[in-house]
Amino acid sequence: MAITGPQPNAWMTALPSYEPGRPLEEVAREAGLADISEMVKLASNENALGPSPRAVDAMQQAAHRMHLYPDGGAFYLRAALAEHLSVPSDHILPGNGSNELIELLGHVFLNDQAGIVMSEYAFVIYKLVAMLFNAETVTAPAHALGHDLDAMRAAITPQTKLVFIANPNNPTGTEVDHAALDGFIKSVPDNVLVVLDEAYVDLVPPAERPDTLQYVRAGRPVCLLRTFSKGYGLAGLRIGYAIGAPDLIQCLNRARQPFNVNYMAQSAALAALEDDDHLVATRQMVAEGLAQITQGLQAMGVEYVPSRVNFLLVRVGHGRRVFEELQREQVIVRPMDGYGLPEYVRVTVGTHAENERFLAALAKVQSIEPAPVSA
């Protein structure tokens, strides 16, 4: 890739762009549709209930203060999260989505002598961030599409600085066994940081989650990443947070931009944290939607990977073609060939009506394209 002017760092030329879920407006523009109201986007694991009404009120009030810079230290949000999680506030750093925190981990730990370990089929941003810093990615083979923690332990080398575990994982929806996770964290060398990406954890009923905060409290080299994008329905605001030891948090804090989390996001997140009813309703919507979609898939004889969160990996045969055909039916899902899963699409759990639209469109498309193809 020759460009005019100074040449980019050599490794940047190999760095692919992230392929996000396609925005409704973009698909409509391409199809020549003026109206997006008939389109259904189930492509980015967003919260189909929308944001909490309390968060919307807080944003409306915050709109009047948009001439002011936000509190870069996010004092009140960190205090509220600290109370919510029962950890001191110096263990918490908010970020511009948890994606930014993954990049900040790269700034702090990665270079051409360092590496990460991740699982096959795990969230692709880990690898993209490693590439951004010219660091090595060792990909441990998956087991039944999920993280194989023994294989990940075996993949750790003297260069490894970060091990990423997405739990639940996107795009597979798989979860690691709690006891295996515990054993893994105890077995990882102290000079390796285990990053537990818990973007979807708020969607899992609290009693059924592993207690991962215990590792931070016990001073293990563990960093938890969470987000307001999924359970709290605030993906558009870009706000997530890291939980870790104070010295880690201080390092990440030095790497961030001065005002990385805007005031509207901080205000909405504070309000959302107080709206437990919305979170409970979200979990209920997800549980009902999963039941609705999986029953529909079973009736069609279509395989899927079981999930407890707001998306499902569905084995449709030729994922990219089905994605394109669904798009013609005005239903946007996510093709999975970029993840090495060409037979699958990933569908987000939507409202009851959206899930129906997906099932009806898939039934139509499957009748055109019944035969599974191999990679």
Give residues in contact with ligand PLP (CB under 6 A): 45, 97-99, 123, 166, 170, 197, 199, 227, 229, 235, 240
| Helix 24-31, helix 319-328: angle, nearest 10 | 70
Minimum Å gap between C-beta 96 and ligand PLP is 8
Count of residues in the chain: 375
Minimum Å gap between C-beta 323 and ligand PLP is 17
Minimum Å gap between C-beta 167 and ligand PLP is 9
Alpha-helix residue ranges (DSSP H) falling in the chain: 24-31, 53-62, 75-85, 97-109, 125-132, 149-155, 178-187, 213-217, 246-255, 263-273, 276-300, 319-328, 352-368
* Distance between CA atoms of residues 374 and 233, nearest Å: 36
Minimum Å gap between C-beta 206 and ligand PLP is 19
Minimum Å gap between C-beta 152 and ligand PLP is 16
Per the DSSP assignment, residues forming a β-bridge with 163 are 117, 194
Which among 354, 332, 369 has a CA at the least distance from the CA of 30? 332
Q: Which amino acid is at 192?
A: V
Minimum Å gap between C-beta 175 and ligand PLP is 12
Decide whether 110 or 269 has the Cβ nearer to ligand PLP.
269
| Helix 246-255, helix 97-109: angle, nearest 10 | 100
Minimum Å gap between C-beta 91 and ligand PLP is 18
Q: Nearest residue by C-beta to ligand PLP? A: 97
* Distance between CA atoms of residues 310 and 333, nearest Å: 13
* Distance between CA atoms of residues 197 and 168, nearest Å: 8
* Distance between CA atoms of residues 239 and 157, nearest Å: 32
Are the C-beta atoms of 81 and 73 separated by less than 8 Å? no
Which among 239, 237, 192 has a CA at the least distance from the CA of 80? 239
